[in-house]
Amino acid sequence: MVTFTLDQPPLDNRYAALGPTYGSRVEPTPLQAPRLLHVNRELAAELGFEPADLDSDAFTDIFAGNRALPGGAPFAALYAGHQFGSFVPQLGDGRAILLGQLRDRESRSWDLQLKGSGQTPYSRFADGRAVIRSSVREYLAGEALHHLGIPTTRALSLIVADDRVRRETIERAAVICRVAPSLVRFGSFEVFYYRNQPQHLAPLADYVINEHFGELSGTPDRYARWLAEVVRRTAQLMAQWQAVGFCHGVMNTDNMSVLGLTLDYGPYGFMDAFDAHHVCNHSDEGGRYAYDQQPGIGYWNCSRLLQACLPLLADDENRAVEIAESLLEPYGPIFSAAATASWRAKLGLQDARDSDVELINRYLTLLHQSHNDFTRSFRLLGDVPMADGSAGPLRDEMRDPAAFDAWLPDYRARLRAQGLADDVRRVAMQAVNPKYVLRNHLAQRAIEAAERDNDGSEIERLLTVLRRPFDEQPGFDAYAAEPPPDARHIEVSCSS
């Protein structure tokens, strides 16, 4: 296995090389007595870090922002965005600093970014810091979604310190090192459209295309083909979120990735009791980013990106709008096809029939009306036999057993019609219906240990479980249980 040492990382600074139009050079602000709470050894191995370096003082200092990463050119990116539907003309990395691009042993490029590393020119009077609770949540969330097979940013390290940070109360500071193929977002293009600086769009678009859509480089229609792919990936991402009950919480355009990644974990949540109108962010008083609104918001956000990129599509504005509309039109069918395929798989339906959509919607409706646990209600569905009789442990958990009993005969008839043996179907269903997701109360337990005792052991236990979300894991059943009554109303907000 080829690895590199911290004194000679395979690092360059291609994004910073775009120049000051796209951001600002800025150094991280050191932390007081930083301590490595956890390192993502799985990700570190994928990137090519020398294992012995991960426990060194140099590693902690570098990824706390207290020492320079050799070869890096720290850079805070400029962008704008629509926040809760209203345009904000300048945002940017207010507490995040890009160290550079790392090449792994397979020559893939990865952005390394410190989040919580101090003030930048885009901090807007904020302190540039992150706190332990939000940092633990982002650190865990990236791994949870990654191992569910959902595109996402990840995190390499989680470092805590004694620096005090004022939020609702006084908390302690933390820094994570985000890792992603790219952290360019929809708002990175919006800022130049609204500034009436269309000349700055093409260099940024070409950077993204050359780095991540190499087959399009230099082609005459590369911008339209790239944007069509962004629309496709975004629609599919929304379907993937829906299928595991994930809610983002702050789907502003500055939090949307041009690679179709799950980006910026502020308030988020995996639903426990299913509520189609669930709002995971108590700062979202109007429910703009509720679970059932996410697909439509994805569409709206794509329309804002396409609007920002109109100058790339044609010199004539009317023609550019026509092209943009044609690129956006497939969003709905792409989402619908991806979502329906996911729900079919979750119900164990191997072939497609016209009646499936009604059957799926009836099951979702009964879960919504009875507020049954989302994850468990799909996982246990695999244990329901085709034959009439006992429906297994799922019926015992149904809060409205009569509604379930009314739906069950049609479901069993559908299973019998496809002729797949129960044990074969069960294996297929368990491969798409996770037993373990990152429930809020599990994350809270890890946060409290970190805040109280600088203890990362619960983070490690959680990651052990979340890295095999579809497997039966003896000894970890408590991590698959519904939250206890006193932990069912944990709230998260934009404060971090």
**Binding-site residue set for Mg(2+):** 255, 264
Half-sphere exposure of 432 (CA within 13 A, CB side): 22
Closest CA to 66 of 120, 123, 27, 23: 27
CB atoms within 10 A of CB 292: 14
3-class SS of residue 389: coil
Catalytic residue among 254, 272, 284, 373: 254
Closest CA to 377 of 355, 346, 356: 346
Can you tell me the distance from the alpha carbon of 135 to that of 165, in angstroms, rounded to the nearest whole number? 13
Can you tell me the distance from the alpha carbon of 470 to that of 475, in angstroms, rounded to the nearest whole number? 15
Closest CA to 356 of 369, 371, 346: 346
Please report how the helices 401-418 and 356-370 are oriented relative to each other, as an axis angle in degrees rounded to 10. 160
Q: Is 442 left (phi over 0), alpha (psi -120 to 50) or beta?
A: alpha
Can you tell me the distance from the alpha carbon of 104 to that of 329, in angstroms, rounded to the nearest whole number? 37
Can you tell me the distance from the alpha carbon of 45 to that of 255, in angstroms, rounded to the nearest whole number? 28
Can you tell me the distance from the alpha carbon of 300 to that of 278, in angstroms, rounded to the nearest whole number? 20
3-class SS of residue 76: strand
Can you tell me the distance from the alpha carbon of 99 to that of 15, in angstroms, rounded to the nearest whole number? 10
* List of residues 6+ apart from 180 with CB closer than 8 A: 110, 111, 113, 153, 154, 257, 259, 261, 263
Residue 254 annotated in active site: yes
Half-sphere exposure of 162 (CA within 13 A, CB side): 2
Q: Where are the beta strands (DSSP E) in 116-235?
A: 130-131, 154-166, 170-180
Alpha-carbon dihedral of residues 9, 15, 21, 27, nearest 10 degrees? -30
Can you tell me the distance from the alpha carbon of 293 to that of 452, in angstroms, rounded to the nearest whole number? 37
Can you tell me the distance from the alpha carbon of 288 to that of 272, in angstroms, rounded to the nearest whole number? 20
Can you tell me the distance from the alpha carbon of 130 to that of 168, in angstroms, rounded to the nearest whole number? 13
3-class SS of residue 309: coil
Closest CA to 6 of 46, 51, 37: 51
Give the residue numbers of the binding site for ATP: 92, 94-95, 115, 127-128, 178, 185, 264
CB 492 within 8 A of CB 191: no
Which residues are catalytically annotated?
Answer: 254
